[in-house]
Amino acid sequence: MRKIVYDIETRNVFSDVGKGDPALLDIAVVAIHDSETDSYSSYFEEDLPKLWPILERADMLIGFNSDHFDLPLLNKYYPGDLSKIKSLDILKEIKKSYGRRMKLDQLAEGTLGKKKSGHGLHALQWWRRGEKEKVRKYCIDDVRLTKELYDYAIQNNKLIFKEGNEIFEIKLDCSEWETPQENKLTFTLPF
C-alpha cells in the first residue's frame, strides 16, 4: 500500500483573506513522505505539477487536520479531485475517539518525546521574509512527526498527549486504516 503523509504551509492566513475557508489561501510549500521510496520531498507552488503523479498513484493520503485544511487547499491547485483518494486525517480520528481536537505538538511530545520545530505563524513570517528554505524544512519536520505518530498509532492502537504535567492516552481503532479502497486511481485528470 503506497501511503503519502503530507502537510502544507501557506503564504497567508485566514485574516488575510477575510474568511475561514482553506481554499482561499495560497500554498507556500507542500511536503510529503512517500512510503514507496521511504523518502521526504517538498514542492513549492511552481513545483506542484511534479507532485500530482505521486499523489495519483497513492493508495492513501495521511495528514493532521488534513481533511479540513490541507485537502481542500491542495484540491484548489489540482486539476482533478484528490478527495477520491482514500484519506486518513489523524486529528479527525482523535476527535472521533476522544471527543475533542488537540495540537500536533501535544501529541508529538506525549507520544514521541519530541517537539515541533516551530509554529505555523513562524513559517508565515519566514515566508514573508523570503526564507523559503526554513519554511520547507519546517514543513518536512511536521510531515516527519505526523508519519511517526501514524506509525505509532498503527503499532499501538493509541496516541499519548501531554496537558500540563499530566499524560493521557487516546485509544484508537486502527484496524481499518490500511484497508485499501477498491478504486486506487482518481481517474480525474484528462489524459
pLDDT of 29-39, one tens digit each? 999 999 999 99
CA atoms within 13 A of residue 22's CA, in its CB half-sphere: 17
- The kind and range of the H/E element at 56 are helix 48-56
How far apart CA 11 and CA 123 sit, in angstroms, is 9
Q: Write the CATH number of the domain with boundaries 3-171.
A: 3.30.420.10
Q: Helix, strand or coil for residue 73?
A: helix
The ranges assigned to domains in the chain are: 3-171
> Quick one: average pLDDT of 12-29?
89
Contact 59, 36 (CB under 8 A): no
What's the pTM value of the predicted model, to 2 decimals?
Answer: 0.92
For 110-128, how does the pLDDT look when each residue is reduced to its tens digit (9 = 90+)? Answer: 999 888 777 778 899 999 9
CB 64 within 8 A of CB 90: yes
pLDDT mean over 43-57: 96
Taking residues 29-55, report their average pLDDT: 97
